[in-house]
Amino acid sequence: MEFYKYQGTGNDFVMVDNRDLTFPKSTSLIAQLCDRRFGIGGDGLILLENDDQYNFRMVYYNADGNESTMCGNGGRCLVSFAHFLNIFENKTSFMAIDGLHEAEVNGDLVKLKMIDVEDINTFPEYTVMNTGSPHYVAFVEHVEDMDVYLEGKKIRNNETFKKEGINVNFVTQTSENELFVRTYERGVEDETYSCGTGVTASALTFMQNHNQTPVHIKVLGGTLKVYAEKAEKGFRNIWLEGPAKQVFKGNLEVK
């Protein structure tokens, strides 16, 4: 089996061109491939498949081997992979689990259109919304000093969110239009270097009270930008932009 490794601001993925539908979609196999000690290693695995109407289809699996909801950085990396495979030139449209996405490639930068977000639930200490995946966003004073693994795990597994699971983002505003975001991801069950849908949720939470676009987001693995327009309800025309790079290519015998 031929595979590629991609990363977007440190969020890394195993990529497989599955247009011939030969990849065995086994939960245990995918979990093994994503294992950093006994496999290739990655925050998830993504299959590129054919679609009847659009350039391709994205099928995303978390590192635990289960098919999951939308992954923003994974989507950007898959767009870069499809561009590498000469599926499109500069602009594309593809189908994912949360619906249709558009994207643009400019060198290593990939700009991905996210779904419109209408339902934003604001509580005194946090905000919850779905940007393709469900997210909890809390603004804190010093995110750099937090134990994101411990605090994120507590929230992800509390009675409110335990059944469906939720991704947990802690955010600190570092300048007028810049945020520092750290994320605990469900399915990975750990802090990741970056989370595209989490960065998007964090930026939209910030934009509710600030007329700033784009918002610059620092994550452990680099910098991203989020663009959005306020709508009558929520936000529309939401774009996530940042680098997506091929790390290496390999072949693996699947038994």
For the chain, domain boundaries: 2-108+244-251, 120-241
Which residue among the candidates 71, 78, 112, 166 is catalytic per the annotation? Answer: 71
Which residue among the candidates 195, 219, 224, 226 is catalytic per the annotation? Answer: 195
pLDDT tens for the chain, residues 1 to 255: 999 999 999 999 999 999 999 999 999 999 999 999 999 999 999 999 999 999 999 999 999 999 999 999 999 999 999 999 999 999 999 999 999 999 999 999 999 999 999 999 999 999 999 999 999 999 999 999 999 999 999 999 999 998 889 999 999 999 999 999 999 999 999 999 999 999 999 999 999 999 889 999 999 999 999 999 999 999 999 999 999 999 999 998 887
Contacts for 13 with CB less than 8 Å, ≥ 6 apart? 5, 6, 7, 42, 43, 44, 45, 46, 71, 73, 74, 77, 78
Do 2-108+244-251 and 120-241 share a fold? yes
Assess whether 34 carries a catalytic annotation: no
SS3 label, residue 175: strand
- According to the model, what pLDDT value does residue 211 have? 85
234 known member of a binding site: no
Assess whether 77 carries a catalytic annotation: no
Question: What one-letter code names the amino acid at 36?
Answer: R
How far is 34 from 13, CA to CA, in rounded Å? 8
C-alpha distances (whole Å) from 226 to each of 3, 177, 241 are 30, 11, 6
SS3 label, residue 200: helix
Check if CATH label 3.30.9.30 holds for domain 2-108+244-251. no
74 known member of a binding site: no
Which class is domain 120-241?
Answer: alpha beta
- According to the model, what pLDDT value does residue 221 have? 97
130 known member of a binding site: no
221 known member of a binding site: no
Describe the chain by its helix, strand, coil percentages, rounded to 5: 20, 45, 40
